[in-house]
């Protein structure tokens, strides 16, 4: 166990907890705890959205997949870049306005219920349940990624590694809520970008230089350098289809809802997309040139063989840098895990507190009571996620793909139609949400046509929304008026 790495990790973790304390001091009410009081600027909005999006998958799942199969795995990154850009361009500003007009909605279930004037609360209940189901799976993926990092770095048993990896995240999320999550996300995003610029450069240098390494990788297997290797139309569409998921991810959409105003989105989009492209290219580069590095050093291949390919970034960081620098780079993986896990825990906590506890049991609960209920819910969801992650053979990418598809299909079409189509009704939203969720769950189980479950889920949910809305009576006057107000406010201020 390396002393420099222990020191680096300890300083980093204590720093995150300290930020949590400062956020605690700035948290006055429940709105502060779950949305930061809607006063987040463009830089924090941009980097927080990126960091909360790119989980341990960025530094573990993606490099590992590229190492195994070559550059053809880049289709996922291409799909994500397209999807993220369209989400920023089409949804971010509109959602910020629509949630404010609809009674200053604090959560997605709250927004759905207010947007469609759902007095039955069916939309609120079902969407909150979907969030809890898929986010516990998503949180488990973060716990697994953190555990693998601590297990590999410090030689800890999986159980202790799991607790160490999740512990700090739980602490600062519990203490500081949304402000802590957003502020730490900004630092974590910067750390991730540093790691994904420096590490690829060193890997290329140690793999023999750019041109020699490329030639060597191609000589090992021409498929490694072929973007279409082993890729039929279905496979490419499935990987590109990941981009559809952005429209329905509650932890990313919450960043849009928390922004200071919709007018900051243009600058935030530029910052976030620049950060995202640099990080994705860096992650792909590490996995790709890692092929040449380990081929040149077959005596070290045992480090990532036998299903351990997701550790390629970890092992290269330890091999190529002195322990102090390696500690900082490995902290970037922890940053990726912590940034995503923290906002997922907070979204789950928000759904339970706002959409169950306050909506049905304590509608007149005081602000401090709600804040403390939210904190207790963070602990509860954390325990469930840790129990789900108890199997060390869980694949980070598999867990993330299921949760990503579930949210993308259940919420994505509703979000898009809700900010663009005034004719959409409560029953249309309900039909879309249920159709998307059931389609994804069935598709995961049967894997028809080897097509990623998000694509049919998104398509069928969209069809259900349109069909059920058209056969339903038109939205009432309240719904129509809110849509008109939001539409005018957004367009008047963005001309």
CA distances from 204 to 294, 299, 311, 397, 421 (A): 12, 19, 18, 25, 49
Residue 443's pLDDT is 95
Residue 241's φ and ψ, nearest 5 degrees, are -60, -15
For tokens 């140690």, the residue is 206
Residue 495's pLDDT is 43
- Ordered by start, the domain boundaries in the chain are 3-492
**Average pLDDT by stretches of 10, the chain with 495 residues:** 79 86 83 80 87 77 91 94 97 96 91 94 92 81 78 80 82 82 85 88 90 92 93 94 94 89 92 94 94 91 84 87 84 78 85 87 87 87 83 62 90 97 97 96 92 97 97 94 95 62
Residue 1's pLDDT is 53
SS3 sequence of the chain? CCHHHHHHHHHHHHHHHHHHHHHHHHCCCHHHHHHHHHCECHHHHHHHHHHHHCCHHHHHHHHHHHHHHCHHHHHHHHHHHHHHHHHHHHHHHHHHHHHHHCCCCCCHHHHHHHHCCCCCCHHHHHHHHHHHHHHHHHHHHHHHHHHHHHHHHHCCCHHHHHHHHHHHHHHHHHHHHHHHHHHHHHHHHHHHHHHHHHHHHHHHHHCCCHHHHHHHHHHHCHHHHCCCCCCCHHHHHHHHHHHHHHHHCHHHHHHHHHECCHHHHHHHHHHHHHHHHHHHHHHHHHHHHHHHHHHHCHHHHHHCCCCCHHHHHHHHHHHHCCHHHHHHHHHHHHHHHHHHHHHHHHHHHHHHHHHHHHHHHCCCCCHHHHHHHHHHHHHHHHHHHHHHCCCCCCCHHHHHHHHHHHHHHHHHHHHHHHHHCCCCCHHHHHHHHHHHHHHHHHHHHHCHHHCCCHHHHHHHHHHHHHHHHHCCCCCCHHHHHHHHHHHHHHHHCCC
CATH classification code of 3-492: 1.20.1730.10
- Say how far apart CA 394 and CA 202 lie, in whole Å: 30
């Amino acid at each position: 166990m390396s002393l420099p790495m222990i020191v680096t990790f300890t300083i980093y973790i204590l720093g995150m907890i300290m930020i949590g304390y400062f956020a605690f001091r700035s948290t006055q009410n429940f709105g502060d705890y779950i949305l930061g009081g809607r006063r987040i600027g463009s830089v924090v909005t941009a980097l927080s959205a990126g960091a909360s999006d790119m989980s341990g998958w960025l530094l573990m799942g993606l490099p590992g997949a590229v190492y195994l199969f070559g550059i053809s795995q880049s289709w996922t990154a291409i799909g994500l870049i397209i999807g993220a850009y369209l989400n920023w361009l089409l949804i971010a500003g509109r959602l910020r306005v629509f949630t404010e007009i609809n009674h200053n909605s604090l959560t997605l279930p709250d927004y759905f219920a207010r947007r469609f004037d759902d007095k039955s609360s069916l939309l609120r209940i079902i969407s909150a349940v979907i969030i809890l189901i898929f986010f516990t799976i998503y949180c488990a993926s973060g716990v697994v990624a953190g555990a693998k990092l601590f297990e590999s770095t410090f030689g800890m048993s999986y159980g202790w590694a799991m607790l160490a990896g999740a512990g700090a995240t739980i602490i600062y999320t519990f203490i500081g809520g949304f402000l802590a999550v957003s502020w730490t996300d900004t630092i974590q995003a910067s750390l991730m970008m540093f790691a994904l610029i420096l590490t690829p450069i060193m890997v290329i240098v140690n793999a023999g230089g750019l041109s020699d390494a490329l030639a060597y990788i191609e000589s090992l297997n021409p498929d490694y350098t072929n973007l279409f290797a082993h890729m039929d139309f279905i496979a490419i569409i499935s990987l590109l289809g990941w981009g559809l998921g952005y429209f329905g991810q509650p932890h990313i959409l919450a960043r849009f809802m928390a922004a200071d105003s919709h007018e900051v989105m243009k600058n935030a989009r530029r910052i976030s997309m620049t950060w995202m492209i640099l990080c994705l290219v860096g992650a792909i580069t590490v996995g790709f040139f890692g092929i040449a590095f380990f081929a040149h050093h077959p005596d070290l291949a045992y480090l990532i063989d036998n299903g351990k390919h997701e550790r390629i970034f970890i092992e290269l960081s330890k091999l190529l840098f002195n322990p102090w620098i390696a500690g900082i780079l490995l902290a970037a993986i922890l940053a990726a895990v912590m940034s995503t896990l923290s906002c997922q825990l907070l979204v789950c906590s928000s759904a339970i507190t706002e959409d169950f506890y306050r909506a049905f049991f304590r509608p007149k609960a005081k602000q401090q009571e709600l804040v403390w209920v939210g904190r207790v819910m963070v602990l509860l969801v954390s325990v469930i996620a840790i129990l789900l992650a108890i199997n060390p053979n869980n694949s980070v990418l598999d867990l993330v793909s299921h949760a990503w598809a579930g949210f993308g299909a259940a919420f994505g079409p509703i979000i898009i139609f809700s900010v663009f189509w005034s004719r959409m009704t409560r029953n249309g939203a309900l039909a879309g949400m249920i159709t998307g969720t059931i389609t994804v769950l069935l598709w995961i189980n049967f894997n028809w046509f080897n097509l990623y479950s998000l694509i049919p889920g998104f398509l069928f949910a969209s069809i259900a929304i349109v069909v059920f809305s058209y056969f339903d009576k038109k939205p009432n006057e309240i719904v129509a008026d809110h849509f008109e107000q939001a539409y005018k406010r957004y367009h008047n201020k963005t001309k």
